[in-house]
Amino acid sequence: MHLVVIGNGAAGLSALNRFRAIDTDSQLTLISAESGTAYSRVLLPYYLRRKIPYENLFIRRPEDYEKLGVRPEFGMRVSRVHPETHSLTLEDGRSIGFDRLLIATGSRPFLPPVEGLAGTNVCHLWTLRDTEQLDTLFQPGRRALVLGSGFIALQAAWAAQQRDLNVTVYELLPRIMPTILDERGAALLQQRVEEHGVEVRTAIHTERVDRSKTGVLTVHAKNHPPLEVDLIIVGAGVRPNIEFLAGSPIRTDRGILIDEYMQTNVPGIYAAGDVARGPTSFGETHQTHALWPTAVEHGKIAGENLTGRHVPYQGSLNMNVTEMFGITVASMGKFIEERGHSSHPVENGPSHYLKIVLREGVPVGAVALGGAEDAVILGRLRPWVRNRRRLPDVEGFLKGRYLLPRQVA
């Protein structure tokens, strides 16, 4: 059997490991648009602020692929997939046949259609290349604008601040980290960010960017004085890499649609990670969670099922954690109360906020701003959310009770 995996990121690597743990015979080919061995996207901001050395970004060595018996095709794009002939065409014209295919091409950052935005000194923080570019642009005293306030955007802002740049953040929506924090959390985090000397503007609509001959960027936002900066980092969301599937029978809709076995509508073709829209642990059928943990889970299930097994996925639970501005920010599940939800917020001072959201006594989500211990609490809560178990004594849980839920995810 010949399995081809497209993508050298979290989902692809996770699938490779799982596949090989079960199937040591089949042929494995790994195609990746980026050249070089795998690096960790999560770690890029940590390098940018010099928390880790450059070498630590790489989470695979060439020999790791050898050991797994994988034939790598790095620095090569796929231009078309032909499910009917079980083959795909590479950019250089070559054709590769497959028995099974895993598409884990991930996503790429989205550049908002702002006039003058595209051009020099405007970057994303997504790839290793981006990071190396930002690294040279980060000089003490320079002025940076971060467009967006999601995970990546704020991590970029933090890295810039740590490298002694003057940083401003523009967020389109009324609060920062809108998909990660609730209102209160966002307000507290914003305070924290501002305490570090980073300017934050929310509900701000960027309309135009002018470029001077010397490379200085002037950013024009609605009802707001123009801002002069030396560089702009755009963290305004991602789009799945599915262009090469145009015209193919593989069904997409803002991402590749997969079932709970990670399979697309075409038998033998699977998808995983940022590129896919699959089931969530709350019962939704097609959602994208462009998150590292989801990519790892997808990859694992896909890898298993690609061996011929038939293991359903429990569903993705959105969760993420990062350390920035001297505070741990973590969130999970549905942390904004909807109708029928109750919540249990705890605030111990300006830098500590923890909220668990429950539905009929079952935890459905949580958000935390604080220390590492809060991430541990969310970790302990996760099996309850995953397995829809009632948690009658939230106070006790926060104090350390209920060490073990009956089933462990």
Partner 1 sequence: MRIVAVDPTSCVACRNCEYACAFKQTGDFDTKASNIRVNFYPEERVCIPWTCVHCGEGWCMEICPAGAILRNPETGAVEIDAKRCAGCKMCLLACPTGSIHFDKVELVSKKCDLCGGDPSCVKFCTSGALQFVEEDEAYSFRRESLDAKLIRLFGLTKRGS
Residues at the interface with partner 1 (CB under 8 A): 10, 14, 40-43, 46, 51-52, 56, 59-60, 292-293, 296, 300, 319-323, 328, 330, 332, 371-373, 375-380, 382-383, 400-406, 408-409
Least spacing, CB of residue 13 vs partner 1, in Å: 9
Least spacing, CB of residue 197 vs partner 1, in Å: 21
In this complex, which beta carbon is closest to partner 1, that of residue 43 or of residue 111? 43
How far, rounded to the nearest angstrom, does the alpha carbon of residue 160 sit from its chain's CA centroid? 20
In this complex, which beta carbon is closest to partner 1, that of residue 156 or of residue 377? 377
In this complex, which beta carbon is closest to partner 1, that of residue 43 or of residue 172? 43
In this complex, which beta carbon is closest to partner 1, that of residue 74 or of residue 402? 402
Least spacing, CB of residue 125 vs partner 1, in Å: 15
In this complex, which beta carbon is closest to partner 1, that of residue 257 or of residue 377? 377
Burial label for 86, CB within 10 Å (0-12, 13-18, 19+), is middle
Helix ranges, 115-253 (H): 128-137, 151-162, 183-195
Q: How many helices (H) and strands (E) does the chain have?
A: 9, 25
- Asked if 341 and 359 touch (Cβ cutoff 8 Å), the reply is yes
Least spacing, CB of residue 5 vs partner 1, in Å: 17
In this complex, which beta carbon is closest to partner 1, that of residue 15 or of residue 78? 15
Least spacing, CB of residue 131 vs partner 1, in Å: 13
Least spacing, CB of residue 16 vs partner 1, in Å: 12
DSSP one-letter code for 189: H
Nearest to 277 by CA among 268, 267, 296, 264: 264
DSSP one-letter code for 172: S
245: helix, coil or strand?
Answer: helix
In this complex, which beta carbon is closest to partner 1, that of residue 78 or of residue 156? 156
In this complex, which beta carbon is closest to partner 1, that of residue 242 or of residue 291? 291
Burial label for 31, CB within 10 Å (0-12, 13-18, 19+), is buried
Distances (CA, A) of 392 to 106, 191, 359: 39, 33, 11
Least spacing, CB of residue 304 vs partner 1, in Å: 11
What does the block give as tokens for 164?
A: 């002694």
Least spacing, CB of residue 409 vs partner 1, in Å: 6
d(CA 121, CA 123): 6
Nearest to 144 by CA among 113, 128, 177, 121: 121
DSSP one-letter code for 54: G
